[in-house]
A and B are shown apart, each in its own frame.
Chain A
Amino acid sequence: MKIVVCVKQVPDTKGGVKFNPDGTLDRGAMLAIMNPDDKAGLEAALRLKDEYGAEVTVLTMGLPKAEEVLREAMAMGADKGILVTDRVLGGADTWATSTTLAGALRNLEYDLIITGRQAIDGDTAQVGPQISEHLDLPVISYAKDIKIEGDSVVVERQYDDRYHVLKAKMPCLVTALSELNEPRYMTPGGIFDAYDAEITVWGRNDLKDVDDANLGLNGSPTKIAKASDKVRKGAGEKVELDADESVAYIMGKLKEKHVI
């Protein structure tokens, strides 16, 4: 079985964010990690590899420094890493990103493609389903369990108040929730090997069956009109009183606002 896991290097949003003048994110200026949902997807792939035997390829699109997450994935047990990087691919929205990744995936053999549900920088959850559409594959989003049965994948698909057990013939694309599992750590030997491992690097010309009109900033249907730091709601009153006075204060406010 061949599994391709799409991973994204994301800024660790705990550290604050920085922008380019055109409103897109200045990814070079921030701490970077492997997106948590993607890491859960990778772990799911590695467990399928442990159980059934599989070749696991990790694919990412980003700046050259995104090869760091490929090496991390290989240190965890992935077999191959492919980095798609090219200046003409920068500034892509989810449409242009999914077009790019689909162009890379058309060069690869796969039974199963796993992506994270969503990335913590954009939180859109769009790229996985969009890739499946470009490749004409069935998609199962929000997976909380993934099993293989013969030539099919059986997935527990989470909804708000229920889950569906879904069965799809492979090839198929599944998007993983971070609740799916607890990703393993890199092994010392794995880190050593991953450091020396060869990463395949592809540019625009290595993408198959994609039109320039659907790539990068110019090929993105959505355009940023404005980006800014969030303006938080202004602070109201703040008091420091003893317990009885605090209670009297709250009661007063609740009465004043006709809550009680």
Chain B
Amino acid sequence: MGLEEYKGVYVFAQQVDNELSGIAFELLGKAKELAGDLNTDVTAVLIGSGVKGLADQLAEYGADKVIVVDDPELKEYRTEPYAHALSSVINEYKPEIVLVGATAIGRDLGPRVSARVATGLTADCTVLEIGDFPLNPIPGQEQKHNQLLMTRPAFGGNTIATIACPDNRPQMATVRPGVMQKREPVAGAKAEVIDYNPGFTPDHKYVEIVDIVKELSDTVDIMDAKILVSGGRGVGSPENFKILEDLAAAIGGTVSCSRAVVDSGWKPKELQVGQTGKTVRPNVYFAIGISGAIQHTAGMEESDIIVAINKDSNAPIFDVADYGIVGDLNKIVPKLTEELKKVVK
């Protein structure tokens, strides 16, 4: 079958406990742009048990079609039935592009599916666009148009690479949460809903779920915060994070931190920003006592406004900060909190 027979941009619409994950909407936002460039439409693939009711929400965020694979075997995420569901959809409907969230689910599902349908998969993309491969004409090599060009950081964020998948379909990419922008939802939008069930027969590849342990936390997800007050090793001690918490309270923000802070056991992993933590893009990011290793900045440099406070004037955080203040955080932060309290009600 020719590659040109593969049509449409598909998104794996991740849901957990029958609630759509934010990444599903973010991927739909990007898929809509790509589909516009390719003059095609956007299909969300919704996999689960009793999930059909979520289709309207996907339509509001940009899905033209929703393929629903609904089966009791799909109640909880397990690699094999989900991989069977998604790869069956790919084999049946033949999309040209499939986007999957680079979540703890998608980074397991994506590779398994890509291997099953024998195509390439590019992980953790930060930029997706339509273009030519090779980028510039090379004598003796066909230049293919309308290719998905997938840009991603590699080597601990030291480099970026742009990758294409010119000879296999679909072109598959995973994208980390927080990287793409969701669209404004269109209330009342409807998608064409297609039920599809490839049949699920448990075999040796189905694993048994013995127990599910939810790790409930009362902290706000730092990826949803509009203002982050982030601390690094320079804060000095877990107790001293109090001055950051006060600042966050005064300005209506949330506290996050660098890897060094998590590694030292001062804060839990879920508050960690960076390559091995979460990617955030708040309106304002305060980097306080954070040196700004590339591993950290990879997770926050898309923030609208970055304010850095650090006593080391050579700290690399100042290379990405919009407003850098060389000084003692212990003197500046409490005073800033007091000033903010006067103006923010």
B322 to chain A, nearest CB (A): 4
Determine whether the beta carbon of B161 is less than 8 Å from that of A226.
yes
Determine whether the beta carbon of B123 is less than 8 Å from that of A124.
yes
Determine whether the beta carbon of A222 is less than 8 Å from that of B335.
no
Determine whether the beta carbon of B211 is less than 8 Å from that of A241.
no
Determine whether the beta carbon of A250 is less than 8 Å from that of B323.
yes
Stretch at the interface among A59-67, A69-77, A165-173, A200-208: A165-173
A99 to chain B, nearest CB (A): 9
Stretch at the interface among B31-39, B182-190, B336-344: B336-344
Bound CA–CA A238/B325 (angstroms): 6
Determine whether the beta carbon of B124 is less than 8 Å from that of A124.
yes
Contact with B along A113-124 (1 / 0, CB 8 A): 000000011111
Determine whether the beta carbon of B168 is less than 8 Å from that of A17.
no
B108 to chain A, nearest CB (A): 4
Contacting residues, chain A, for B328 (C-beta < 8 A): 243
A80 to chain B, nearest CB (A): 27
Contacting residues, chain B, for A249 (C-beta < 8 A): 323, 325
Determine whether the beta carbon of B327 is less than 8 Å from that of A121.
no
Contact with B along A219-260 (1 / 0, CB 8 A): 011111111111111111111111110110111011001011
CB proximity to A under 8 Å, residues B99-134: 103-105, 107-108, 110-112, 114-116, 118-124, 133-134
Any A CB within 8 A of the CB of B181: no
| Given the contacts A130-B111, A154-B210, A237 and B121 also touching, CB distance less than 8 Å | no
Contact with A along B201-217 (1 / 0, CB 8 A): 00011111111111111
CB proximity to A under 8 Å, residues B213-255: 213-217, 227, 251
Determine whether the beta carbon of B205 is less than 8 Å from that of A221.
no
Contacting residues, chain A, for B165 (C-beta < 8 A): 221-223
Determine whether the beta carbon of B135 is less than 8 Å from that of A243.
no
Any A CB within 8 A of the CB of B57: no
Determine whether the beta carbon of B159 is less than 8 Å from that of A17.
yes
Any A CB within 8 A of the CB of B73: no
Instruction: Give A175's nearest chain B residue, CB to CB.
Output: B108
Determine whether the beta carbon of A94 is less than 8 Å from that of B344.
no
Bound CA–CA A45/B128 (angstroms): 39
Determine whether the beta carbon of B339 is less than 8 Å from that of A247.
yes
Contact with B along A163-200 (1 / 0, CB 8 A): 11111110000000000000000000000000000000
Partner of B103, one of A16, A160, A229, A246: A160
Contacting residues, chain B, for A104 (C-beta < 8 A): none
Partner of A138, one of B154, B204, B319, B324: B204
Any B CB within 8 A of the CB of A129: yes
Any B CB within 8 A of the CB of A95: yes
What band does the interface of chain A fall in when counting residues whose beta carbon is under 8 Å from B? Answer: 35 or more
Any B CB within 8 A of the CB of A33: no
Any B CB within 8 A of the CB of A52: no
Determine whether the beta carbon of A223 is less than 8 Å from that of B156.
no
- Interface residue total, chain B, C-beta cutoff 8 A: 91
| Given the contacts A138-B79, A169-B204, A246-B325, A230 and B159 also touching, CB distance less than 8 Å | yes
Partner of A222, one of B122, B209, B215: B122
Determine whether the beta carbon of A166 is less than 8 Å from that of B322.
no
Any A CB within 8 A of the CB of B97: no
Bound CA–CA A217/B78 (angstroms): 32
Any A CB within 8 A of the CB of B194: no
Partner of B111, one of A125, A154, A164: A125
Given contacts A130-B112, A138-B204, A259-B284, 12 further A-B contacts (CB under 8 A): A124-B111, A126-B114, A139-B79, A162-B215, A163-B212, A227-B159, A227-B161, A238-B324, A239-B325, A246-B336, A249-B323, A257-B284
Chain A positions within 8 Å of B, measured between CB atoms, are: 11, 13-14, 16-17, 19, 23, 25, 93-95, 98, 120-130, 132-134, 136-142, 154, 158-169, 220-244, 246-247, 249-251, 253-254, 257, 259-260
19 contacts between A and B (CB under 8 A): A16-B158, A123-B154, A124-B111, A128-B111, A129-B115, A138-B207, A142-B104, A158-B104, A159-B104, A164-B213, A165-B211, A166-B210, A225-B149, A232-B297, A243-B328, A247-B339, A250-B323, A253-B305, A259-B284
Chain B positions within 8 Å of A, measured between CB atoms, are: 16, 76-80, 83, 103-105, 107-108, 110-112, 114-116, 118-124, 133-135, 149, 153-168, 204-217, 227, 251, 275, 283-284, 294, 297, 301, 305-307, 309, 313, 318-328, 331-332, 335-336, 339-340, 343-344
User: Which 5 pairs of residues, A with B, have the shortest CB-CB distance?
Assistant: A221-B120, A13-B156, A222-B120, A133-B115, A236-B322
